[in-house]
């Protein structure tokens, strides 16, 4: 594939994989916590939290990217604090692209994991509790193994969404070749150049191959995890 794609195109593909991987791994612990809270806990503001979680699915991606730029830009309240105290700059960096991708993919991850947790029989958790298991131990030994297929599905859905994220990413971190130009933004950039259709087609084929690979991996992992859970 290195001979089929130019170095710049290959760089965009690798950057997309890097961004999507970090976006998925970094958001998975929080996604598990939020999904469990929405599925099992009753607390004031639960409806508000649910709305905030799903807000990126409702808002136009450009609006989400603008809000990220306002909050995490170098002059924003969060971005300015991170820059001054830790020297971390997210705007117009690949880490900012990972943040934007994570925010856009977060609702899909939480939804899949929440549905999986809700499908777990609460009587099993209650039985483990009556035997003296603490709530964290019940989650680790009962709830998590039973909802693991949903966790895997949510993670792969988030990865696929992060790979294809465009609007929020280009608004927050722009499209700088070699730094923030991911696969979707590289396709868009090629479409703006006369004669760039051939390069755009190559990148589209790569995007399709990655998406189909993620789908196949999701099916395979889901079957393996389901068989493992059934055999426990």
Residue 175: count other Cβ atoms within 10 Å of its Cβ.
18
Position 104 scores a pLDDT of 95
Tens digit of pLDDT for each residue in 44-99?
A: 999 999 999 999 999 999 999 999 999 998 888 988 888 888 888 888 889 999 99
Check pLDDT > 80 for residue 147. yes
Q: Is residue 1 part of a domain?
A: no
Which of the four pLDDT bands, split at 50, 70 and 90, describes residue 192?
confident
Residue 2 lies in a domain: no
Tokens coding 63: 């609006």
pLDDT of 145 over the 70 cut: yes
Give yes or no for residue 195 having a pLDDT over 80. Answer: yes
Task: Report the CATH number at residue 110.
Answer: 1.10.3720.10
pLDDT of residue 199: 86
Please give the residue range of the domain that contains residue 78. Answer: 7-230
- Tens of pLDDT, residue by residue over 200-214, are 898 999 888 888 887
Q: Is residue 108 part of a domain?
A: yes
Are 155 and 28 in contact by the 8 Å Cβ rule? The answer is yes
Distances (CA, A) of 57 to 54, 108, 141, 202: 6, 9, 32, 29
CB 74 within 8 A of CB 89: yes
Cα–chain center distance at 129:
33
Structural domain includes residue 109? yes
Any domain includes 160: yes
The yes-or-no verdict on residue 1 having pLDDT over 60 is no
Report whether 82 contacts 90 (CB < 8 A).
Answer: yes
Q: How confident is the model at residue 198 (pLDDT cuts 50, 70, 90)?
A: confident
Q: Is 132 helix (H, G, I), strand (E, B) or coil?
A: coil
Nearest to 102 by CA among 13, 207, 211, 20: 20
Classify residue 81: in a domain, yes or no: yes
Q: In the predicted model, what is the mean pLDDT of residues 16-24?
A: 93
Burial string for 4-32 (b: 16+ CB within 10 Å, else e) reads ebeeebebbbebbbebbebbbeebbeebb
- Mean pLDDT, the chain, integer: 88
Query: In the numeric block, which tokens belong to residue 177?
Result: 């070749």
Question: In the numeric block, which tokens belong to residue 222?
Answer: 């889901």
How many domains would you assign to the chain? 1
State phi, psi for 176 to the nearest 5 degrees: -95, 115
């Amino acid at each position: 594939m290195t001979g089929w794609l130019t170095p710049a195109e290959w760089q965009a593909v690798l950057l997309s994989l890097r961004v999507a991987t970090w976006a998925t791994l970094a958001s998975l612990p929080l996604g598990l916590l939020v999904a469990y809270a929405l599925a099992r806990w009753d607390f004031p503001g639960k409806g508000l939290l649910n709305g905030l979680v799903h807000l990126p699915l409702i808002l136009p991606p450009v609006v989400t990217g603008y809000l990220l730029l306002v909050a995490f830009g170098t002059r924003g309240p969060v971005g300015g604090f991170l820059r001054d105290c830790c020297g971390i700059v997210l705007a117009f960096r690949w880490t900012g692209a990972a943040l934007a991708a994570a925010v856009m993919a977060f609702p899909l991850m939480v939804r899949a994991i929440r549905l999986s947790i809700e499908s777990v029989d609460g009587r099993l958790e209650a039985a483990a509790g009556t035997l003296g298991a603490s709530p964290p131990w019940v989650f680790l030994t009962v709830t998590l193994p039973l909802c693991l297929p949903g966790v895997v599905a949510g993670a792969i859905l988030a990865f696929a969404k992060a790979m294809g994220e465009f609007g929020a990413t280009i608004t927050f971190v722009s499209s700088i070749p070699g730094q923030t130009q991911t696969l979707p933004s590289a396709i868009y950039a090629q479409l703006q150049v006369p004669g760039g259709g051939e390069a755009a087609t190559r990148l589209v084929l790569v995007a399709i191959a990655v998406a189909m690979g993620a789908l196949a991996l999701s099916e395979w992992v889901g079957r393996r995890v389901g068989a493992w859970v059934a055999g426990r």
